[in-house]
Structure 1
Amino acid sequence: MSDGTQEGASIGELFGRMVATLREAAGYRQAELARAMYGLSSTRLNQIERGTGHPPTLANAMALDAELNTGGLLAELWKHSNSRMFLTWSQPLMELEGSAVEIHTYLDQFIPGLLQTEGYARALLRSARTVRDEAHLEERLLTRLGRQERLDGPDAPYLWVVLNEAVIRRPIGGPDIMREQLARLLATEHNERISLQILPFSEGNFPRMGGALTLLTAPDKRKVAYTEGAEDGRLIEDPDEVGQYSAIHERQRAKALPLGMSMDMIREALEDLDRARIPGSAQALRLAKVQLQQRHRRKLRGGRRRLPRHRPRS
């Protein structure tokens, strides 16, 4: 089974050919270069040059630059091509997202990457099966957060998000990280190019539950749909099928709470997290009784008049 990374892709082959060309120009054989570099085996270098195996990391590119004295060429190539180093099934979405003028999405598991805080994104990536190690996690995190820059740019897309209520109730990363994430969602209330709705539990089952649905509009007005599950994703370009998914999303928006009420529900979820810090009423009552009893005992001990001791007469 594939590990979910882009194998044999043209960008990987291009990067590998560049490494091989620079290595040969520097007068190294593969085995010689691998021996000269700490932490890079001859087998791994061979994979990089052939464009096979998992994609090279930024650390690999920087180490090769240093050893081959390239002036940072490979690191620049890595950064330029990193948008193609996503999971295989999500790569088409990432490429289209970068130029879309409108993005409509429904998610029932997680906050969309475009609105994730660093803490929330890190917690999600840390649990991902496809993240190999801490260095890979940091690379994926950097790329994910970098995507958000489009929301602040002059060509920012119009983003309409519908979230299942479970998304704002599930404390990914723990209460503190989730508080920060919910505050980030509330901040979108003042962004005219972002709309956020919550599909409440009360609506019961609904189409596309158990997965994510994204609809993108390109600058030329072409519309595509993208569906994603736990282990795969599918890009849909057929106009009739895109129309069917557009209709599903319209029903999702219609069933979801209005914008203002959605923000109120997010505030409620945030308040619930804050209340969780405070002991429950029964526990608080017991605690108050114990404290009252302790104060009473201290008062009795401190206010009791001591009687003189009488010695027995001899």
Structure 2
Amino acid sequence: MANGSRQAAWEFFGSELKRRREDAGFTQVELGARVFVSGGYIGQFEQAIRKPQLDVAQRIDSLLRSDGFFERMWHKLIDDKRYAGYFAAVVELERTATKIAEFAPSLVPGLLQTAGYARAVMLAGNPFAADEYVEEKVSARRERARILDGTKVPVYWVILHEQVLRVPVGGPATMAEQLDHVIGLVRRRRVLVQVLPCSVGAYPLIGRMVQLMEFADAPPTAYTEAVYSGNLLDEPALVQRVQDAYDLLRAAALPPDASLSLIESASEDHRRCASTT
């Protein structure tokens, strides 16, 4: 679905929510209290500024007795089968974010991955998968990255743990290509990258992948990921705690210039290793 038609569909979702809410005699505040979000969030849903999470859409259906209408709309608009169910809403939010800040403790983030690197990651977790399945997942990941190629590119800030640079995912040649891709995006000013060196030792959010997103007309969100599960946070106090931890990571990481030099050095190390095998 193209971005324009997707936005129009979300506007329809919002207008239907407003109509059914008013028919049921609820204010935005009253509906929000019954589905465990604020009245302001209901207003943002109705204006197509913010997209509800699946459990919220289900609670709205139950309260308004809408026979699963909002859940079905949610699945049609967000639940892209190319992505894990817990991650599909994040992909939707990335498309409208004005700023994305990410911490990657073990892998290059999906928005920065080359096809070769993404393929190696997919095969590592799905060694018996058909080629068609793997290529569909790789294509979806590369499609996500298109938000860095347009004219309205979000401010994108990434902190990589140093081990991300050292582990030769896909082999040394693939890894060198991957790091060269990151270097190219940095030089084109599409992303600002810092490296958290191994010498730091313990650090905030240790071992946790984290993504923070900000929007022009909606509150910020935070996303964290665990084993085959993810958690999208939009409660202001929790998002602020994640932001505070991310700020501490920034303070502990190498400056951008030194980080770029380290990435270039790691790329050369992988390239030399590839040439000797």
TM-score (ref. length: structure 2): 0.68
Gaps of 5+ in 2: 1-75
Mapped to 1, the partners of 2:91 and 2:221 lie a distance apart of 13
1:144 partner letter:
R
Other-structure match for 1:184: 181
Mapping for residues 147-226 of structure 1, pairs under 5 Å: 147-226=144-223
Mapped to 1, the partners of 2:145 and 2:209 lie a distance apart of 19
Gaps of 5+ in 1: 1-78, 280-314
Mapped to 1, the partners of 2:127 and 2:209 lie a distance apart of 19
User: What root-mean-square deviation, in Å, do the aligned CA atoms of Structure 1 and Structure 2 show?
Assistant: 2.3
The percentage of counterpart residues that share the same residue type is 34
Contact 1:210–1:229 (Cα < 8 Å) also in 2: no
Mapped to 2, the partners of 1:250 and 1:272 lie a distance apart of 30
Mapped to 2, the partners of 1:231 and 1:268 lie a distance apart of 33
Please give the per-residue CA displacement for 1:197-236, whole angstroms capped at 9, x wherever unaligned: 1000010011222220000012214100001123211011
Please give the per-residue CA displacement for 1:262-294, whole angstroms capped at 9, x wherever unaligned: 011111112222343577xxxxxxxxxxxxxxx
Other-structure match for 1:118: 115
Other-structure match for 1:9: none
Secondary structure of 2:228's match? coil
Mapped to 1, the partners of 2:256 and 2:192 lie a distance apart of 7
Give the CA deviation at 1:181.
Answer: 0.4
Mapped to 2, the partners of 1:273 and 1:86 lie a distance apart of 30
Other-structure match for 2:143: 146
Please give the per-residue CA displacement for 1:232-281, whole angstroms capped at 9, x wherever unaligned: 110111000100000000111111000000011111112222343577xx
1:244 pairs with 241, 254, 261, which one?
A: 241
**Closer, same or farther in 2 for the Cα pair 1:261/1:131, shift >3 Å?**
farther
2:148 partner letter:
L
**Closer, same or farther in 2 for the Cα pair 1:80/1:223, shift >3 Å?**
closer
Q: How many residues align?
A: 202
Other-structure match for 1:276: 273
Give the CA deviation at 1:129.
Answer: 4.1
Larger RCO (CA within 8 A; separation ≥ 6): 2
1:192 partner letter:
R
1:153 partner letter:
G
TM-score (ref. length: structure 1): 0.60
Contact 2:101–2:157 (Cα < 8 Å) also in 1: yes
